[in-house]
Structure 1
Amino acid sequence: MKKRTLLLAAAAVILAGAAVAGSVFFGALETSVVSKAVERPLGADEMKRLAERGAYVAVAADCYACHTAKDGAAWAGGLPFETPFGTLYATNISPDKEFGIGAWTRAEFHRSVRDGVGKGGRHLYPAMPYASYREMSEEDVDAVYAYLMTREPMRVPSRENELSFPFNIRQSLTFWNLFNLRREGFAANAARSEAWNRGRYVVDALGHCGECHTPRNLLQGMESGAYLKGAVIEGVEAPDITKEGLARMGFDPLTLARFMKSGLSAQGSMTHQMFEVVHFSTQYMSEGDLQAMAAYLFDLDALPATPVPPPAPAPVEVPAPVAAAGRGTYLNLCAGCHGADGQGIPHVAVPLSTNASLRLASPRNFVSAVLHGIPAQRFPGLERMEAMPAFTELLDDKALADLTNWMRARWGGRQPIVTDEEIAKLR
């Protein structure tokens, strides 16, 4: 999604001099999924027809969020992506002919989106999720191209990346591509339903969910054997969104589809990058696509008629001193907004008794919220949640560990094993 630090760390696989020296050789082995057919320019009528579709595809692919800096011109780039090797900046993809993509051909656009190689053979960094967009259909890429060409040209030069050597050598990314790009694009599974296949396309290609929710291998490519099983990104956990992981968090397919539309549910609210995903992308997606996403993630060919929530986890016993300290802190600092029994207050604070962050294996997301707070947020449908203050100055490591253990045991069914030392590291 927006700041994909995990993807940016993929630059590490350039392996310094070895990859640089072999870049020409590896480039010769690179494969393209772009057909020769796209070398034909699109006519004016085709561009007009495709642009209408492209407005929706660009939303589903979450293009605007990455290519528009805060307080910046629309589609003009400039959004920073911080990496251990320096800073990358999103590029201008408005139709300006000098600074944007206005002079790009249809074929050049296709190759950048699906192969990661832009105009003039210039390799893109995989902060642009071309490893996932590789599965986009030719028609959908055409549609985005046509739509972008209808936007207002922005005469804003793309900012130069600030990467150290050898990560600033783009050609070296041929090495990463060789090991991390699929050899083919999307292919439907004839044994599954239309809804399941559409969901797979939306999740894997357009939504590129795996880019954040899949852990990385040694070369910083997505681990195929741990697909969607969760990863840490920018200090918080992008959770396991396999059917097992979703059920553990309390989701059923229909509830998940509504959550992606509204950003709110009994499991909590969208925060961090996922808030922006809802804000710029999923709230505008069709009900059919949202339900298809849920069907695919839960591995169903059709959704049930009514929600069937998974059973809540059973509470776990906590040592009496921990329970007394944790409950005391909760009543003093949390209950005013979240309720004495964790039921939450509509339009103010989400419930905690059903909150997904307390059911995750790691306490990372819960502890981060307590330490750093959550800003006030407006959600689709005129819904909003008040700001949660930061408690980093009010709670020492032991107090926060007791609070975390008590809440996770009571409402998440998790053993009280969080230590003061772990809190200190997360702090």
Structure 2
Amino acid sequence: MTTRSLLRLAGAAAFAAGAVLLRALYAWLRPAPLALTTAPPPAPSDAILAAGARVVALGDCMVCHTAGKGPAYAGGFPLRTPFGTIYSTNITPDPDTGIGRWSAQAFRRAMREGVSRDAHLLYPTFPYIHYTRMSDRDIDLAWQYLMSRTPVKARPPENELMFPLNFRPLLAFWNMLYLEPGTSAIPASQPTPLARGRYLVDTLGHCASCHSGLNPIGGERRPPFKGGSIDGWDAPDLTALAANAWRHADLVDYLRGGLSPAHGAAKGPMRPVTERLAEVPRADVEAIATYLMSIQDAPAVEPVAARQAPAVLPGQALFAAACAACHAEPAPMMRLGGRPSLARSSAVQGASPMKFVQTVLRGIPWKHGSPFTCRPSRTR
């Protein structure tokens, strides 16, 4: 047997021994399963349901737990990561395929620790590293709202992850690195808009999940909010909004209605997020915008008007032929039809052309009229 063959054999043996040791350690550390419930929880009041719906909308639960045109919250949505595809779970109260037999304690543990009712570890595409800092009240409101919905019997497809990342015990060590349970972000009972906004961005909104990017083992890059990528779309740097001429009012319009006249429309994965934020009180969105505008770096880029390099000038003919009728300053469709200017659009001004290319190729399926006339504030 050659030296190379011996080394390969030794390596395989070491890996197998390590896997056995890891499994034994995990079995020792693994939390215990929690008992199944046999009776449904009591029906919540209308006030509790409204408050729970608000929490669930702020947490974007429907965005990830609804597959295409499938039933809301029934799971099966493909979450594509650099390590493979993970399918979201059914969080309707179906007793067999959903969370219908989960207790409030089991739901709270999943949110705080990333541990399912039967004690298997959840993949961090479910942002429990952010939800862990939610208040007990918000977690319980979300549980009561979800348990009040119509049960849907649906099982998601099997996850498609590369080896060894499909070996869930490895998540115990990932959690040691990135899960920091606590309640430090919970504001006081009467928080200021800034404190409320920080809480929503850090916990329910989990904005850093998309806007921070991932390191080689799937942890969020630090410092947070410096931009990332999801499903082929750029998630822009949230600390550079002021540098790109975003104002508080622009951000509120964009987050609540999916459209800012000065910066364009929400695209890709961000569009359904804005649809959910249109369902919550305006004060919540204003608080989010207040916090995001408070974390801005000093403007470090030249004004938009100065960034006209000769290399982009050949595109003027294409813009004039295909875009100017709606998006040029003198265009009647801009003044009368509410079409946004592209001068400060993040898709145009981003460091990468990815977002602009995705927008041109996929378009923006717009189901609503102007967000400023057709989406009145609704308090839930």
2:161 pairs, out of 156, 160, 163, with: 163
Cα–Cα, structure 1 residues 312 and 67, in superposed 2: closer, same or farther, change >3 Å?
Answer: same
1:83 aligns with 2:78: no
TM-score (norm 1): 0.72
Identity over aligned residues, as a percent? 35
Query: 1:381-419, CA deviations, whole angstroms, 9 ceiling, x for partnerless residues?
Result: 5679xxxxxxxxxxxxxxxxxxxxxxxxxxxxxxxxxxx
**Aligned partners of 2:63, 2:146: CA distance in 1, in Å?**
14
**Aligned partners of 1:116, 1:351: CA distance in 2, in Å?**
43
**Aligned partners of 2:259, 2:230: CA distance in 1, in Å?**
21
Shift of 1:99: 1.2
Query: 1:40-99, CA deviations, whole angstroms, 9 ceiling, x for partnerless residues?
Result: x99737677643321111111111121121221222111122334443211111111111
**Aligned partners of 2:223, 2:92: CA distance in 1, in Å?**
36
Alignment of 1:310-329 (within 5 A): 313-316=304-307, 318-319=309-310, 322=311, 325-329=314-318
**Aligned partners of 2:313, 2:82: CA distance in 1, in Å?**
42
TM-score (norm 2): 0.80
2:304·2:344 contact (CA, 8 Å) conserved in 1?
no
Shift of 1:221: 1.0
**Aligned partners of 1:329, 1:381: CA distance in 2, in Å?**
27
Task: Say what the alpha-carbon RMSD is for the aligned residues.
Answer: 3.3
1:186·1:201 contact (CA, 8 Å) conserved in 2?
no
2:113·2:181 contact (CA, 8 Å) conserved in 1?
no
Cα–Cα, structure 1 residues 221 and 181, in superposed 2: closer, same or farther, change >3 Å?
Answer: same
Letter in 2 for 1:150: S
1:22 aligns with 2:12: no
Aligned residues: 345
Instruction: Show structure 2 runs of 5+ residues with no match.
Output: 1-14, 32-36, 296-300, 374-380
1:73·1:154 contact (CA, 8 Å) conserved in 2?
yes
Shift of 1:351: 1.4
**For residue 151 of structure 1, what is the aligned residue in structure 2?**
149
Alignment of 1:8-407 (within 5 A): 21-22=21-22, 25=25, 44=42, 50-188=48-186, 194-223=192-221, 225-242=222-239, 245-265=240-260, 266-279=262-275, 281-299=276-294, 313-316=304-307, 318-319=309-310, 322=311, 325-339=314-328, 345=334, 346-347=336-337, 349-370=339-360, 372-379=361-368, 381=370
**Aligned partners of 2:211, 2:154: CA distance in 1, in Å?**
33
Cα–Cα, structure 1 residues 42 and 114, in superposed 2: closer, same or farther, change >3 Å?
Answer: farther
Shift of 1:359: 2.5
Letter in 2 for 1:315: A
**Aligned partners of 1:248, 1:357: CA distance in 2, in Å?**
15
1:263·1:380 contact (CA, 8 Å) conserved in 2?
no
**Aligned partners of 1:26, 1:252: CA distance in 2, in Å?**
49
Letter in 1 for 2:269: Q
Cα–Cα, structure 1 residues 109 and 344, in superposed 2: closer, same or farther, change >3 Å?
Answer: same
**Aligned partners of 2:19, 2:128: CA distance in 1, in Å?**
20
